Copies of this chain bind each other. A is one copy, B any other.
Amino acid sequence: MKAGIIGLGLMGGSLGLALKDSGLFSTIVGDDINKIHRRQAVYLGLVDECLSMEEILDCDVVFIATPVDSIVQIIKDIKNLRENQLIIDFGGTKKEIIASIPPHLRKNFLSLHPMCGTENFGPKAAFKELYQNQIMIFVDINDSGEYQVELAREICLNLGMNIVKMDRIAHDRHTAFISHMPHILSYALANTVLKQENPQDIVAIAGGGFRGMSRISKSSGVMWSAIAKQNKDEILNSINAFQNELKNAVEMIESNDFESLKEWMSDANKLRDII
C-alpha cells in the first residue's frame, strides 16, 4: 500500500515519520503548498519523495493535514476515487469539512481529529512520537465505508493511539471547550502581557504556571484563525461561558468576598477527579 500526505508540517510530517516506522506502507509520498517545506520534508526524511497533488490523490490512503480551510478546498477538488481508496482528514473542526465531501465519495472519506500537537509548526517541528498514546477522534464513522473504517482503525492502533468516536456536532462543541477556546485564551494572555510596559521584565520572572498558560499562544495563527472561522458559533459560545465565569470571579474579588472565591477555586479543583 502507498500512503500520501498533503501538508508536511508538524502533523503531516510527524505522521510520515510514524508511518515509516509502522511498516504498513511500501511508500510514503507527500505534497505541500510551500516549496521550502517540500524540500525540508524530503531532506528530513518525513516522506520518501514529494509528488504532485494528482499523484498523491492516487495513493491507497491519503491524509490531509493542512489548515482546515485548505482541507475544504482540497476535498472539493476530488472528483473520482477507486472503491477502496481511503481519504482521511485531520481537521480540528468537522461540520464544514464533512459537508464539503462529495456525496458519491462519502464512503471513501473518514474524518479524524488527533488530539495532540505542540506549539511548533512546519516540517522541522515534526517528530515521530507525536501520536503515541494520544487520542484520535473518529467522527461520523457510520457514513464511511466499513473497509475504510477498519483500515483507519488499524493505522491508528499501529500509531499507538486511543480511539474515541463522536458525531460532528458533539465534536465541534466539545473541541471548542477543550481546545479552541483555550487557544484563544492563551493568545489573549500573551497579547495582554506583551502590551504592558517592558514585557521582558515581567516575563523574566515567569514560572511554570505562566509557561503552561502561554505555551499554545505560540501556535500558528494561519491554522487557528481558520479553525475560528469554521467553528465560529461554538467558539463564541464557549468564550461567552468563560467570560461569565471570569466576571463571576471579578465580582467576588471586587466585593471582597474571598470566602466565596476560595469555594469557587475549590470547585475548580474537582477537575482533579476527571483529568
Residue pair B177, A221 in contact (C-beta under 8 Å)? no
Q: How many residues of A contact B (CB 8 A)?
A: 91
A180 → chain B, closest Cβ, in Å? 9
A264 in contact with B187 (CB, 8 Å): yes
Complex Cα–Cα for A217 and B212 (A): 12
A127 within 8 A of B: no
How far is A270 from B190 in the complex, measured between Cα atoms in Å? 9
Q: What's the Cα separation between A116 and B211 when bound, in Å?
A: 11
B-side contacts of A117, CB under 8 Å:
207-209
**How many monomers of this chain does the complex have?**
2
Q: How far is the CA of A179 from the CA of B210 in the complex (A)?
A: 6
Is A26 at the interface (CB under 8 A from chain B)? Answer: no
Whether B262 lies near A222 (C-beta < 8 A) is yes
A240 — nearest CB in chain B belongs to which residue?
Answer: B250
A221, B253: Cβ atoms closer than 8 Å: no
Q: In the complex, which residues of chain B have a beta carbon less than 8 angstroms from the beta carbon of A184? A: 246, 249
- Nearest neighbor of A225 in chain B, beta-carbon distance: B262
Across the interface, name the chain B residue whose C-beta is closest to A200: B274
Docked Cα-Cα span, A249 to B232, in Å, equals 12
Please measure, in the bound complex, the distance between the C-alpha atom of A190 and the C-alpha atom of B253, giving whole angstroms.
18
Given contacts A202-B174, A236-B250, A265-B187, contact A210 B182 (CB under 8 A): yes
Task: Please name the residue on chain B nearest to A230 by beta carbon.
Answer: B258
Q: Is the CB of A179 within 8 A of B207?
A: yes
Which of B204, B216, B235, B264 sits near A191, CB closer than 8 Å?
A: B264
A228 / chain B contacts, CB cutoff of 8 Å: 253, 258, 261
8 Å CB contact of A203 from B221, B258, B275 = B275
A106 to chain B, nearest CB (A): 24
Contacting pair B115 A187 (CB below 8 A): no
Tell me the minimal C-beta distance from A5 to chain B in angstroms.
Answer: 20
A227-264 at interface with B (beta carbon < 8 Å): 228-229, 232, 235-236, 238-239, 241-243, 245-246, 248-250, 253-254, 256, 258-259, 261-264
CB distance from A214 to the nearest CB of B (A): 6
Q: Which residue of B lies closest to A217 (CB)?
A: B268
Query: Which residues of chain B are near A218, meaning CB under 8 Å?
Result: 268-269, 271-272
Residue of B nearest to A134 (CB): B207
Assess the B221–A263 pair: CB atoms within 8 A.
yes
Can you give 13 A-B contacts (C-beta < 8 A)? A166-B205, A177-B196, A183-B209, A185-B189, A187-B249, A194-B268, A203-B275, A212-B213, A221-B262, A221-B264, A221-B266, A221-B269, A224-B265
